[in-house]
């Protein structure tokens, strides 16, 4: 178990999810105002799922390294 790598993945994930969260909040406001279609929100949710999947894979790799 590489604790340093696991910590780095955690910090990296937190920073990128904070940026993604800001984009998502803005998109959600646009969706509620009718400026963004439901398809755009669906794409953002799929992107979030992809981000989380990558972070899980990185975390598992850090644990096994």
Q: Give per-residue pLDDT as tens, 22-58.
A: 999 999 999 999 999 999 999 999 999 999 999 999 9
pLDDT tops 90 at residue 65: no
Burial classification of residue 9, based on how many CB atoms lie within 10 Å of its CB (0-12 exposed, 13-18 middle, 19 or more buried): buried
Task: Report the pLDDT averaged over residues 4-18.
Answer: 93
Q: What's the pLDDT at 33?
A: 96
Looking at residue 48, its pLDDT comes to 94
Q: What is the model's pLDDT at position 57?
A: 95
| Residue 2: pLDDT over 90 | no
Asked if residues 2 and 58 have their Cβ atoms less than 8 Å apart, the reply is no
């Amino acid at each position: 178990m590489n604790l340093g790598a696991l910590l780095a993945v955690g910090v990296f994930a937190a920073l990128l999810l904070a940026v993604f969260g800001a984009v998502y909040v803005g998109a959600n406001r646009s969706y509620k105002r009718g400026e963004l279609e439901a398809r755009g929100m669906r794409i953002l949710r799929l992107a979030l799922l992809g981000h989380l999947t990558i972070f899980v894979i990185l975390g598992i790799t850090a644990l096994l390294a």
